[in-house]
Amino acid sequence: MNQITNFTKGFLKENPVFVLLLGTCPALATTTSAWNGLGMGLATTFVLVMSNAVISLVKDIIPDNVRIPSYIVIIASFVTIVDLLMAAYLPALHSQLGIFIPLIVVNCIVLGRAEAFASRNNILSSAIDGLGMGLGFAIGLGIMGGIREILGSGAIFGLKLHLFGQVDGMLAFVLAPGAFLVFGYLVAMLNIINKKI
CA distance 144 to 164: 20
The residue range among 4-12, 40-48, 87-95, 139-147 that interacts with another protein, by the rule CB under 8 A, is 87-95
Q: Can you tell me which of 8, 24, 70, 194 binds ligand FES, judged by CB under 6 A? A: 24
Torsion, CA 68, CA 100, CA 81, CA 44, rounded to 10: 70
Q: Is 141 in the site for another protein (CB under 8 A)?
A: no
Q: Which does 168 bind (CB under 5 to 8 A by kind): ligand FES, another protein, none?
A: another protein
Closer by beta carbon to ligand FES, 75 or else 150: 75
- Residue 144's Cβ-side half-sphere holds a number of Cα atoms within 13 Å equal to 34
Q: How far apart, in whole angstroms, are the C-alpha atoms of residue 30 and residue 35?
A: 9
Q: 87-90: list long-range contacts, CB under 8 Å, 24+ apart.
A: 90/39
Cα–Cα distance for residue pair 190/181, rounded to 1 Å: 14
Q: Does 99 interact with ligand FES (rule: CB under 6 A)?
A: no
**Is 92 a residue that touches ligand FES (CB under 6 A)?**
no
Note whether 24 binds another protein by CB under 8 A.
yes
In sequence order, what are the residues at sequence separation of 6 or more whose Cβ sits closer than 8 angstroms to the Cβ of residue 38? Answer: 138, 141, 142, 145
Query: What residue ranges in 36-160 does DSSP mark as E strands?
Result: 155-156, 159-160
Question: Is 140 one of the binding residues for ligand FES (CB under 6 A)?
Answer: no
Residue 58 near another protein by CB under 8 A: yes
Does residue 23 belong to the site contacting ligand FES (CB under 6 A)? yes
Q: Does 1 bind another protein (CB under 8 A)?
A: no
Residue 15 or 45 with smaller CB distance to another protein:
15
In the complex, least distance from residue 186 CB atom to another protein, rounded to whole angstroms: 8
The least distance separating another protein from the CB of residue 163, rounded to whole angstroms, comes to: 10
